[in-house]
Amino acid sequence: MKAKLLGILLIGFLAGTAAGTFFYYDISNFFIAAIAFFLVMSVATKKWIHIFVSLAAIFIFAGFEMGCNAANFKIKSEPTSISGFIAKVDQNIYQKSINFYVKEKEKDSYLEVRTGKDVEYKVGDYVLISGNITAADLPKYKKDHIYYFVQYPEIRKIKKPNSGRYENFLVKKAILINRLNEYISDRISAVLPQPHAALSVGVLLGGSSAFSKDLSSKFSDTGITHILAVSGYNVMIIATVLFKFLKKKPQKIKIWGAIFGVWVFAVLTGMSASVVRASIMASVLIIAKLAGRDYYPFSSLMLTASIMVFLNPLILMYDLGFQLSFLAVLGIIYFGPLVGLMFKKRNIFTEIIIATISAQILTMPLIAYYFGKVSIVSFAANLLVLPAIPFLMLFSFITFAVYLVSPFLALGVGFFNWVLAEYVVKTILYLSSLPWAKVNIEFGFTALIVVYILLIDIKILSLRYAKKKKENLHDYYSLAG
């Protein structure tokens, strides 16, 4: 009961934060007056409902205030030059420009730089950027601490300045992760042809920089682009597969083994903010299972999301990766039971299919809202492709690992890697070639809310039906042993 009440309070906090990022009103005085009123009423009446309402008001107003302050944070100046180290480089071999991100010295802010491919700088280099630097006042940029933009500036490499320990740690981390990603990518590319190598690296490490514009468009048309963006779905699949492999081991070994696997995957994919958030979300859900009968997955998910939003309020409404991770896990938790009824036997393959379908139920409407199109073949594409992705990830890693021992032996293992990648590519190419593969629609915010209300109704009706039939339908979630 206490866990459910906590879940409700946290929903209030998240709702308040969401509202605060859209509307800016100075409610400080009203907030203090309202809380004082509710607290006095609670003390006077000593009724639990009044105490709960007081707490709910505190959570809602606190969230609103946080959302307002984060969304309306103003950048005070637009400097003519910025110095710092290159923390990340985004480059597509088919584009004529590159983007890289410079972290300001001793500041938690970044400058996004667009320049030509002829610039030869790498992650970890200290540079001085001069040009027409403009402020990035939109919340969707500020959520990643990107406060400035500049295009085709003057770039000059400078000596490493004296920095604190934390700054040095960030530089070493960026260099290490970048080198690790390049090392893995180069080894897989030495074994597999394109676009199979790009796909294998994409599902393992995230990203589609080696994809042609045409192939990227086909992935988008079939609603399958998300396999190249590491999210909560990928992390939960990793945990699900590890649970199944360790199913004969004691519960604690399964749980800590899954957590270890999740964070190894996070390190390999570069420890980006979205990957770290998805890994934390999965880890909290895994650890919470140690509570046994007292485990409430919904409350654990709300607590995890609230902690992340508390640390960065803007991700709630402006970070698609966070939203998809949250909805994917929520879909697995609450729609897994319904999807699971279609399968009489459970194994790794069926568990992956169940997790895939249940995650897609909540994420597909949001994807349609953001991109303004509905892929008619999306459900078929996800059903056909997603069960193969965990195995493609596994063989991609095995291909890399064997290459370290013997490049010749890696060709043999790489054949199975190629078969899986070929299956995914051919499936996408065929489905995208259908004349009715996608439909461009006006899928606004109202339509999104209506769809989610209908999905909630379906869930409620299914629970009532199960209760009438006296079925023992427990909430299924992907980490079930």
CATH number of the domain bearing residue 133 = 2.40.50
- Structural element, H or E, at residue 95: none
Most confident of 215-224, 395-404, 457-466: 395-404
Q: What percent of the chain has pLDDT over 70?
A: 81
Q: Do 67 and 93 share a domain, yes or no?
A: no
Q: Is 225 helix (H, G, I), strand (E, B) or coil?
A: helix
Q: Do 232 and 381 share a domain, yes or no?
A: yes
Kindly report, residue by residue over 279-305, the tens digit of the pLDDT: 777 777 677 655 554 456 777 778 888
Kindly report whether the peptide bond that precedes residue 195 is cis, defined as omega within 30 degrees of 0: yes
- Weakest mean pLDDT among 24-38, 113-127, 238-252, 293-307: 24-38
Sign, CA torsion 116/117/118/119: positive
Q: Is residue 474 part of a domain?
A: no
Q: Is residue 144 part of a domain?
A: yes
Q: Is residue 93 part of a domain?
A: yes
The residues, any chain, with a CB within 8 Å of residue 36's CB and separated by 6 or more, are none
Kindly report, residue by residue over 136-187, the tens digit of the pLDDT: 777 777 787 888 888 888 888 888 777 777 777 777 877 887 788 888 888 8
pLDDT at position 419, please? 93
Residue type, 14: L
Spatial distance between the Cα atoms of 91 and 118, rounded to a whole number of angstroms: 12
pLDDT exceeds cutoff 60 at 318: yes
Which 8-state DSSP code applies to residue 133?
Answer: -
Sequence-ordered strand ranges (E) for 132-208: 134-135, 146-151, 154-157
Q: Do 294 and 374 share a domain, yes or no?
A: yes
- Structural element, H or E, at residue 458: helix 445-468
Of the residues 162, 191, 211, the one at which a domain ends: 162
Most confident of 255-264, 370-379, 437-446: 255-264
Q: How many residues make up the chain in this entry? A: 481
Q: Do 134 and 62 share a domain, yes or no?
A: no
Q: Do 93 and 59 share a domain, yes or no?
A: no
Q: Is residue 348 part of a domain?
A: yes
Q: Is residue 185 part of a domain?
A: no
- Residue 242 structural domain: 203-468
pLDDT at position 24, please? 62
- Please report, for residues 33, 40, 50, 61, the alpha-carbon distance to residue 57 in angstroms, rounded to integers and kept in the order given: 11, 13, 10, 6
Of the residues 136, 162, 188, the one at which a domain ends: 162
**Of 129 and 473, which is predicted with more confidence?**
129
pLDDT exceeds cutoff 80 at 197: yes
Q: Is residue 193 part of a domain?
A: no
Q: β-pairing, 110-116 with 97-104?
A: antiparallel
Q: Do 356 and 223 share a domain, yes or no?
A: yes
pLDDT exceeds cutoff 50 at 472: no
Q: Is 90 helix (H, G, I), strand (E, B) or coil?
A: strand
